[in-house]
Structure 1
């Protein structure tokens, strides 16, 4: 009997040992799997991490001493789903964790994923007030102009000095040193003096708020609101200070007014979110914050606020508090009813919880609200003409007059010294190296055409405040620039040839203007003809050039890369703003008769062979310079005899042959390919026989 007991005890010990060994191996395998899951998460393979964390959680279920590890795995599981885009499933897991009373700071991955989902397509282009500061949305105070054409308050410019690009258009802001724009500053002081005073009071309120003087700050905001009623910037700041004074309901009212006036401004939704959270309405607070993120250009600084909002929504005790708000509100609304006092608070709580949306449903509501807001913003083509409708003085034409041309400003631009002129008027000043007419500062700094844009504020103010005068000025410019199609500007320099590159350095003021106008023209073309000293004028034949590239300098000079397009004959001559105009007839070769085609072909081959022979005698340095300037000798086209200007290689050769200007013009004006080939052949014979290289 004793032996049997001993055997049973030993058998029991063996079974316990085998079970422990199996459990140890199982836990060891699970720990290895956990390590693989962590590695997958860190390498951003969130799909694999989700599956591994899920398996680890299921294997550790029921293990009493693995509660902490299991909690960490559940968060890893939820974080992986959030990062892989499975937001609804992730929120359900987070909610289960929070029901157990676990409230660690582990919501950053969910917050980041939600922000990414809300901001997937970027913020839609929202309507804006064209006359407001692009940084703060207020009337521009001490306005300065950026190179992109937008203007900001001087303080906003200093505040955003580290930002290289405009927040509205994304273009470069340009130079760091700026002067106050004199014209815009004068217009603002004339049209919006109350707004300037209200903005000053708002600034005082901001300073008092930063110093902790909340009641005094509120007084300043109230005074600002009396001057300019319901201005969104004032209301948003007042909502902030009211919330700090524990007056959340009034703060919410101000935030909702802001949203009503500017429905596409993210700050209004942010103020609303904070007020709702303070009132215990955490579900609505989360939705308002989501709307803010959907409209915000840079939503990532809001991640901490999103974490807090999610924490309030997920924590069971806070969600119950959010439900109680609606219960109490309903009780107050029904206090006049005879049977309202008979209902028990517990029954109200039960009904409220029954009606309460699940956390997953709340996520759906949040994403849907943000998506709808983005759609409304994209489809809203209105501009916020808040300032243009509240001018205190009528606009006059003299307010927008250019001091150089004494006409209404056209395509207004500003100088680094802060003065405003028509674009073309400023160009003419630069052409002649004149200083600024108003302050005599040099105009060579930062005023090149590539470094400036039309002043958006002045252009919009003109079109909104003086629409008829703006339309008339536009019509004047269109009529002035409407030249007959065959009248082309002529650059008197040398002889160009069809298809041949022609680099030019433009330095004379009249030709600077001519090149600018040619570039602005869709065709980007102008004529070039040689000056004939014997005749005292430019030649009767020239080449139409097309501008391929232009490099402008601050001095107004430019290097222009052109190529010949076709030949022309001058029919009549004229002049405009100092440079020549000509009515021309485009030339093309006469068709080669069938009976002469064989003769012309033989001549063509002979001349090309002779050209190669002459080129072979040139030094290597000379050939290298020719290729750098004009490229290599073109190949023969299949239909060279039918081209309007004949074979391209003949013009390439004409460009490098040492011929007199008059002879080049004569060959250029020849419309017979056979005659042109004979002239070139004779020239090559002469050069070869006299060893002219």
Structure 2
């Protein structure tokens, strides 16, 4: 007998048995009624339901709960008719019942492949203080005054357990890395990705999924190994390799329109740091090639390298500039103004033909920002300057990976001074 994992069947907001569970984009499930009052997921604090059109009920999870606990999920007649207070004889699946679940008093048998038994995401171990208001508002609502009959020590009847309940309808195998679509259906992650390669719709109900994003933007991020890219700076691409044609098609059809760009690194295939790119326009040519217009997004650090159907992929974490205050902020603002003026002066003294080329490829130099710490990547004009200056890629990589705006400005100041002193254009 294998116990039900911690809070697997309970809503982390109302601490009761999941009722009409909705799986949010982050992968955690809550009751549909709780979703209306919550602002963030108690497990990861991400917004709940914003990427789920209509907040559809998770068909698989809801079906299993109704099958295993048909009585516990039904509201009492007293509550339905609103004829007075809830009877104390009815036992709520609240904190006491949740404790029973946590202590493993609801055993669940499973024959094999238990490591792949991942139907529900693990719920939060404790409610966060940021969500206390949501929980209080739910507790005060009439809908929350629903009584349940829950003998917590009862096991799930063995005859109600069936491997077919946990099979993917695409591959007919046990669900592995299950993903719930916005329409509420659950499939293996690889299966739904393969299906969307053929047709961007749900394999069961055929609902259009082009606006849904199944790719976690920090996990298995597609990596284009080519050139250096910078935040906020345009990066036109000519796509002709079959692997990258597949990657671009997936990015467009799944709705992410986002991938990572890294330069080549012989020892590691691609560099440890890169920049996300957002597809703005894509023009398909008759021979299968495409011209793709992209713009730089967040910087990232590579945590793990991998492959996906021929192209590179990686787990990443995003970089943010360190915030400074007081005297450090004052000094940073002064340095920012000096280097911007220096960059303007350098550009204005370039030959007109070079100015036109830079303007055509990268646009005009961005204006100086009033708040130098408004963006996690710092002022955009710094990245514009870094893209147009004749610098060694190794130095560009140092500045791309730096989380200190002061350090980047200092390096740019030295480079500009060197170029002017040596009349290098």
TM-score relative to the length of structure 1: 0.31
Q: Which has the larger radius of gyration?
A: 1
TM-score relative to the length of structure 2: 0.50
Q: Which has the higher contact order (CA 8 A, sep 6+)?
A: 2
Structure number with higher helix proportion: 1
Structure number with higher strand proportion: 2
